[in-house]
Amino acid sequence: MADPTPALSLSLLVTARQTVAEGIVLFKFQARDGGALPLVSAGAHLLLRTPSGLLRRYSLCNDPAERHRYQVAIKREPHGGGGSISMIDALQVGGHVTAAAPENYFALAPGATRHLLIAGGIGITPVLAMARQCLAAGTPFTVIYCARGPEQAAFLDVLGETAMAPHICTHFDGGDPARAFDFAADLKDVPAGTHIACCGPRPLMQAVRDATRHWPKDSVHFEDFGTSAPPAGGEGAFTVHLARSGGSVVVPHDLSILEALRRAGVSAPCSCEAGTCGECRVGLLGGQADHRDFVLNDDEHDTAIMICVSRAHSLELTLDV
């Protein structure tokens, strides 16, 4: 099976760091040799090794046309796996990191005539790059940016610039779910040619998912690198049967199917491990899945499963693995 970790071929120097919102730090990188960096498109992310040795993915937020620098904004997650704490507490100007050439699983839909870009919290990072790309290309777009309050919202200065401001709608809910943005009302109509790109906490993505079930298939796109913890665990254990390779693996309540397979020596393609990129899709041959991803449409639920987040309603699943 393929090694899911690409080579960390880039050596990047930290040229600046700046707090851009409560608990959010913007890092600016350039190549250590001063050369041009690989070209990216909006929505791309950087896989880098943090000072603590962990591998983490962060969306690029600078103008995608820039070749002389990359920028990522990172939210310090005290209860995360330690990657963001390591970056923010240990990486200073003059320090360096190694990274893989950026990849993009969240690119703007090429056929769209208008983009609706929805961000929650730190999910603004890829959305900011998308907004910059739309502005440069003259593509119609609107950003809906949801946060607890202005103090927790990054890049309000950039979003308030003259050219950008007419495209931006901010919504602050004070952390009260009752005051959350009303996506059901806002996304009721389906403008022809419009594509949605959404990045944010899981409840926000779920609200967008629920509000767009009547939208055309493949017109709504999600990403979740580091914006919220995926629901890797569940209430009970179940067993997955591997139809092609043979054998069975028990998935305990505190592991995802993907992780249980790994521990059993069965590797599988994956990337986001958050149910948004589509990399870990596996054929579902039997059993009733508990789908928790933002990739599959309702009409695919009987035949496929995203094994990084989804679980089982039945005691057994049969997978095309």
Residues 145/124, Cβ–Cβ less than 8 Å: yes
Q: What is the DSSP letter of 237?
A: -
CA distance 304 to 151: 41
At 144, the amino acid letter reads: I
- Residue 320 found at the interface with ligand FES (CB under 6 A): no
Q: From the CB of 147, what's the least distance to ligand FES, in Å?
A: 25
Q: Is 278 in the site for ligand FES (CB under 6 A)?
A: yes
User: Is residue 295 within the footprint of ligand FES (CB under 6 A)?
Assistant: yes
Q: Does 259 bind ligand FES (CB under 6 A)?
A: no
> 134 or 319, CB closer to ligand FES?
319
**Beta carbons within 10 angstroms of residue 320's beta carbon:** 15
The correct pick among 204, 220, 280, 321 for binding ligand FES (CB under 6 A) is 280
The residue with tokens 């907004």 is: 131
310 binds ligand FES (CB under 6 A): no
Candidate segments 23-31, 187-195, 198-206, 276-284, binder of ligand FES by CB under 6 A: 276-284
Residue 99, C-beta contacts closer than 8 angstroms, at least 6 positions apart: 8, 10, 12, 29, 46, 47, 48, 49
DSSP notation for 51-75 = TTS-EEEEEB-S-TT-SS-EEEEEE
Using CB under 6 A as the binding rule, whether residue 273 contacts ligand FES is answered as: yes
Closest CB to ligand FES among residues 12, 199:
199
Between 73 and 232, whose beta carbon lies closer to ligand FES?
Answer: 232
Asked if 277 is part of the footprint of ligand FES (rule: CB under 6 A), the reply reads yes
Strands 281-286 and 45-49: unpaired
| Strand 70-75 to 55-59 pairing | unpaired
Q: How far is the CB of 205 from ligand FES (least distance, A)?
A: 12
- Binding footprint of ligand FES, residue count (CB under 6 A): 14
With binding defined as CB under 6 A, does residue 271 bind ligand FES? yes
Minimum separation from the CB atom of position 103 to ligand FES (A): 12
Q: Are strands 194-199 and 96-99 parallel, antiparallel or unpaired?
A: unpaired
In eight-state DSSP terms, residue 37 is P
- Is residue 199 a contact point for ligand FES (CB under 6 A)? no
Q: Which residues bind ligand FES (CB under 6 A)?
A: 270-273, 275-280, 293, 295, 306, 308
